[in-house]
A and B are shown apart, each in its own frame.
Chain A
Amino acid sequence: MADNVRRFRWKKSGEVSAPDLVRECGEKLTDRELWRQFQERFQGLIFMYVMRSLRLRMIQDDVTGIVPDLAQEVYLKLVQHEGRVLRSFKGTTEFSVRAFLAKISASVVHDYQRSAGTEKRSAQVVPIDYMAAAESQAKKSTEAPEFDSSQLSSILSWIDMERVIEGEPDRKNARRNALIFQLHYINGFESGEIARFPGFGLTKSGVQAILTRLRKRIQA
């Protein structure tokens, strides 16, 4: 858990914290120095979140050309209506800032997709979660080479997850563990990728242990 938290910190010593910087920018929309810091610290993240959102939405446009345009729109969304969006930010952690920027970036990409009329095209392709599942099926699981994960992901759709939850010895976290199981076998996340999110409160080996336990129970 501590390891996870550390991954989401990127503040240099002596700098104002990321949540405070976002809040201050919302309060002082015309402060050049604050905005210079904002750009220096968050612009790369905005580029990345816009780029990933485009790819996850299967938008095939040239990312090098389109991401700068959409990043500008993220800035506009932050400041319009007297910085209403910025002032709505209530987070207290570095992760909350990332999540905040990711949500805005995703919404800008969503607007772009709608305005560009690409909704229709993307509707003909496979949704994100299926895509991720397909990716996970394509690569053989390195965590359980003896286990055919594609077979499990295909049967998970009809497995009664309530039964899985009921049989889980860790009662307190039974639903979280079942969700992790789905995220791995249906949505294609590796244990390390799941463990990176503080909300799960687990290390990579902790996620692996849950996956192994639930897999054995389903196979039994």
Chain B
Amino acid sequence: MNDRDHGQCVIDETLTEYLEGSLDPAIKAASEVHLLSCQPCRGRLAFFMHVLQPEVDSEESVALRAISAEWDKRKENNLPLRPRVSGLFMAIAAVVIVLVGVSSVWMARQGAEPESAEEIVTLLLEQNRPFEARLAGQPHLSIERTRGTGETGVSYTLLAGEMTRLSANSHEMGRFYLLEKEFRKAIPYLEIAEREVGASAAVHNDLGVAYLEDGNGSHHNKAESEFLHALQHDESFAAAAFNLALFYERSNSTAQAKAQWKRYLELDSESDWAREANERLQGLSR
């Protein structure tokens, strides 16, 4: 019997449904025809039959007890994970771990689960730079232009629930949605924060970033106003100075952009942001 004469190989789901007895009779019959002739597929069926055997032998029983003890030990002692778990997963883990009651294990590498909404935002900022403009308190990362938010592996819906649970304020929720590039959700939150008495330079800056980056022409000019507000509050607020220069650059106001990049470099000449500002200034001068 030649397996090439007996249809396509059987996927894992069909194999387990065959074992369960839930396959449509026609698919069941076709699967049997294929399994009889295809040794690799029968090998995979055998694999699942071995894995799914309900009986646990004494050797397995001993091993399972040791595994459970190891799991509990890690839970109690905060022993670290192997470093294969990606940093981005930690953000998800931060939420889920608590839910499954194994937080100490999963969060071992992070040190502790996030205790505040701001901490979640900070974790996200450390992982991803979604656009050129600079949010308040954002560490410098190079922009990965080809990478969309959907490819980061972060479950924003899951984290949004956690932001609510941690009583995120309007500014924090706005920043969170901004990182997701959900401008339609971010802007209302940031506008609420901006209307609050004593709104900080950071709030004005972040609202300006939302206006600048959302691609809506009617918002574009509002961005300048917010960056200027931020600098009125705090003339050394580097993020707003950076963003104002970026705003002028995007508005094709080259002379203003060059002047603003120079002002930025007076505020910050050492950081990676300064290096980026310098590169932009040089680009405009060519």
| Chain A positions near chain B (C-beta within 8 angstroms) | 7-8, 29-32, 35-36, 38-39, 43-44, 47-49, 51-53, 56, 63-65, 67-69, 71-73, 75-76, 79-83, 91-93, 95-96, 98-100, 102-103, 105-106, 115, 127-129, 132, 160-162, 165, 175-176, 178-179, 182-183, 186-189, 193-194, 196-201
Contacts and interface: CB of A to CB of B under 8 A. Distances in A.
Contacts of A49: 51-52
Contacts of A39: 100-102
B141 interface: no
B259 interface: no
19 contacts: A30-B162, A47-B67, A48-B64, A51-B63, A53-B51, A63-B67, A64-B63, A69-B82, A72-B102, A81-B155, A106-B47, A127-B43, A129-B42, A187-B49, A193-B49, A194-B49, A196-B53, A199-B22, A200-B21
B46 A35 contact: no
**Chain A binding surface, main DSSP class:** helix
CB-based closest 5 A-B pairs = A99-B16, A129-B43, A199-B21, A175-B32, A35-B99
B50 A132 contact: yes
Contact of A76 (B16, B56, B66, B93): B93
B143 interface: no
Nearest to A81: B155
B39 to A, nearest CB: 7
Contacts of B98: 32
Nearest to B23: A199
Contacts of A71: 71
A67 B67 contact: yes
Contacts of B161: 29-30
B49 A175 contact: no
B70 A64 contact: yes
B199 interface: no
Interface string B25-57: 000010011011101001101111111111110
Contacts of B12: 103, 106
B227 to A, nearest CB: 34
